[in-house]
Amino acid sequence: RNGYVVNSKCTPYSYPWGAGIFYFNPLLKGALQQLGKKATLTHARRLFKTREEIDTDNFVFCQDTALASSYCNIEKGEMFFRDAHHYFNMLSKSWEAYSAISLKLGDTIFLTYEEMYSAISAYTLKQYNQSRPTNLSPKEKLEMAKVMHNEYHATNRQIKSILKLDISVIQELFPKAQDDI
């Protein structure tokens, strides 16, 4: 949701990341340029992942991070928007529009094995009071397999390895997903 609608204290300046805090904020631009420190050669090489000598005179650092104003042309970016309110609304609406498009297209999120195991472990602890998915009863494992398949979009291989179920049981539950084993 658009944070500004819910809480008028949410502004582009309240974001701790990116160049958004510099947009339409001339006082901050000037203050941080003066407060920032220059990078040492070692720090610059680590930051830019190169052994070449880097000219860091144009980069201003704050807490070991290069400020976005060092590598973004903030004035050009501001030209796309009328004011701070317009910038924030366009930013929020675009995010909502992209999420609506992905829902219409049927895009889903797929978790890696580690992410899936963490999510399922938390779910089994909350739902069944078991810290490990493999400790569930056979009936609970079947219920959990359905949850993993439908809500977490788990592959048959993930279900098999996390719940330690027999492959034939999984193929009976989800026959169309046999090709991922």
More confident residue, 131 or 94: 131
For 22-72, how does the pLDDT look when each residue is reduced to its tens digit (9 = 90+)? 777 777 766 655 555 666 777 777 777 777 777 777 777 766 667 777 777
Tell me the C-alpha distance between 60 and 69, whole Å.
Answer: 8
Q: Where are the alpha helices (DSSP H) in 60-154?
A: 74-78, 84-105, 113-128, 138-151
Is residue 19 predicted with pLDDT exceeding 90?
Answer: no
CB 51 within 8 A of CB 73: no
Q: Spell out the SS3 assignment of 18-58.
A: CCHHHCCCHHHHHHHHHHCECCCHHHHHHHHCCCCCCCCCC
Tell me the C-alpha distance between 2 and 8, whole Å.
Answer: 10
Domain boundaries, the chain: 3-105, 113-180
More confident residue, 94 or 110: 110
For 69-99, how does the pLDDT look when each residue is reduced to its tens digit (9 = 90+)? 777 787 888 888 888 788 777 776 766 666 6
What pLDDT does 13 receive?
54
